[in-house]
Chain A
Amino acid sequence: MKIKINGEEKVIPTDCTLDTFIQQANVQRHSFVVELNGQIIDKDTYASSFLKEDDTIEIIRFVGGG
């Protein structure tokens, strides 16, 4: 199914959880935040958040800035 991740369209398998997706994307766990369809998702619920068609995900972390 088709989702949008950080502004880009991607095709992922159905029955994919947020947890699985993040693990496969190899994102470091300690300093990022995930927004799913405009809602910040608690880390504890990544494993129980199933992605659906046309979901929009933002994975955001800190970078250098003034």
Chain B
Amino acid sequence: MLTIAGKNFTSRLFLGTGKFPSASSMKESIDASKTEMVTVALRRVDLSNPEDDIMSVLDQNRYLFLPNTSGARNSDEAIRLAHLARAASGSNWLKLEVTPDPRTLLPDPCETLIATEKLVKEGFIVLPYMNADPILALKLQDIGAAAVMPLGSPIGTNLGILTSFQIEIIIEQARVPVVVDAGIGAPSHASQAMEMGADAVLVNTAIAIAGDPVAMARAFAQAVQAGRTAFEAGMGRRSQQAEASSPTSGYPSEDLAFMD
């Protein structure tokens, strides 16, 4: 059972709600994933089409809404979005995302730290999106982040876990849950993160732009379960040297030259 800020989650797969081909596709994918937490963004109402409302499709009683501060380029902008999110949702939960460079969408570590500290003091439950920097992860935990969310690779790239060396260190040193977020492009990537000991993963693009998002959501749910089960089962050690799987004695032959 995964617990973040005192809330229990049965599913270790969190979903983003962006980029789906339709509202119904998004809703069915979310259901197929069995996720219990979804991210949402904050944007202007389209006054030429004010009825367009994601909340009407998603049932807030079934999953926790995690507003993100996507679009924020610095801590001030992120804090403004955080206040708007809380006013709109009535919830303290927040995915803190501070990304000054639209080409890479990499998170600014300094602004993320500043915003996390301020928002934690204001009572927000902050889940900061961060580059896979073990030192930064510890600093965020020290100032009260409810979890840390290191990236596998940049948002939307589907490149998988390019930061495994650092994520392993983060997991080893973590005192709060570690949610690998961004760049997970295939169920195998999600399994890999879970096998490493991640507490959860957050996936958006890989599901939303799949040929069949609903089927892909199901695949990801299975992959996350497989990876977690494997982690809990205790992965076998790796070896540089081949070690036979079949017995090295008792082979029925006169010629034993090749046996040990």
Contact = CB atoms under 8 A, between A and B. Distances in A.
Interface of A: 5-8, 25-28, 30-33, 35, 40, 58-66
A7 to B, nearest CB: 7
Contact of A30 (B43, B55, B155): B55
Given A6-B47, A7-B44, A27-B45, A62 B54 contact: yes
Interface stretch (B34-42, B115-123, B190-198): B34-42
A60 B43 contact: yes
B17 A65 contact: yes
B55 A27 contact: no
A61 B53 contact: yes
15 contacts: A6-B44, A6-B45, A6-B47, A31-B55, A58-B44, A62-B67, A64-B17, A64-B19, A64-B26, A64-B54, A65-B17, A66-B19, A66-B41, A66-B68, A66-B70
Interface residues of B, number: 35
The prevalent SS among residues of B at the interface is mixed
Contacts of B16: 64-66
A61 B68 contact: no
A40 B55 contact: no
B102 to A, nearest CB: 14
A61 B47 CA distance: 11
Interface string B61-94: 0000101101000000000000110011100000
B89 A62 contact: yes
B55 A60 contact: no
A66 B15 CA distance: 7
Nearest to A59: B45
